[in-house]
Structure 1
């Protein structure tokens, strides 16, 4: 009897192991949501006049090509968030959002999405305007920001503005395809509700270059652990040309593989690295020596980040408070 029981347990173990191996071998199942509730980016605009279901947006075509060329995933396309249901989540591995406005997702469905991610059953990839998105219920915007990690707070770097990308984690699998000091042109957001202690920033703006520089840090790409699940966000992806860039495509493929649990990469927050980027941004724009370290780097970096909300060009900026804060910070570098 004991031998028979051990045999059954071994058989069940082999079956379970085979099923797990088979699940790891199959392509990840991705649902790409590119709904716009308000402003419509060209990357998600489907051609007008095309028969229903036949015309796809540039980003949809690009994601299909990534799926085909990599073999890492299959992708379903939708521009209606109501297609995301608890039952549908059970058939998916990764959600990819390139969205704007208050999506028609109710509180219960969003709770199911968060549980799906936190349990490790699913992952989330946000592209560009995924940070300019909310949910259509009371408190939905905060609930969404709590997951993604930041909310659109203007884009001083408008479409086509020359920028330079700083790679804060050159060896990270989700950033290695973008060498440090890569010159580019994109629309770049800055964020409210961003907390350095919650995310690992991989890319940021290099404030030592470009025609538009600000003396505070602007993250571009980050990852975070969400319970047992994973989240990736990049601000890149405003234009069709970015979606066609081999580096961007490789990054999105790697993000899908990582959030889908097929690869490993660090996700622990890196606030010290982010603090160093904040100090470097202020020193570069203000013409200060980068070799001078303030007495309290973490506190100084926090004060530098606070400059964003005071900037005179913001609709709610405070020029007087800005000048005072900059003066205090300059003194901290002496």
Structure 2
């Protein structure tokens, strides 16, 4: 399984269903985000999975200050990408960490298979294979949004190879289907994803991620997501996205938080209200899901070796809203290992 280097710098995808509103003009990117500029060189890991050849894009950034010998793997969210970790990669690298930021299969600079059975176990196995090829035997995992679900699953599968977990506003802190959110089929998700546009993404993220606020620097990430979804591979991208939404909704990690034996740092923006399918939920259900000001505290009690750090007033992506404040807490938490 060779490692091949790609000089096409690309990037994408976190958490909830994005409503379609009036369209605005957005860039168009290739099916593996060709044309989108990533902050560091993107390489590709070619391997076999489920009887087919696939490519996994990733950034491998060495420590810039004297290396501390530790490796950090950054796991992106559903509507985010390895590229959205830009500020975190810089902060961690300057603090002495080697940083690996992969794009999972189905996302961003990675393959969008025509047929793929998505599971968090499969994505964890893919990531483990990448780390093996890079000669990394142990790592700290930092997972944001859907990446928090994946990081949890990875730690449960590979406990002796996981030094520490840091979960940044992870989704899956509750089981939406058990709380009364109606099931949406893959076909229904697919139809929604085909209609995705910039105005809808921007308004959803403003209300759900950023507590009603918006900054000009967020536009780059709207362009990234919409440019991929409206590019020449839009049907394949939309289909993979639909399969991934189904995975997120039907494969909760909530019931296994109690089994984590890894030191776990919970970094929670308390204004976050992200919940898969909340737009499709009855009002009485919607009113009680996605409340991170409560969920962080509840899950901290479930995880045996957890430390909770809350960011009052911040939303779903504190690492992007207030990077300096977030990274101070992250680096302090990682040193506490």
TM exceeding 0.5: no
Greater relative contact order (Cα < 8 A, sep 6+): 2
TM-score by length of 1: 0.34
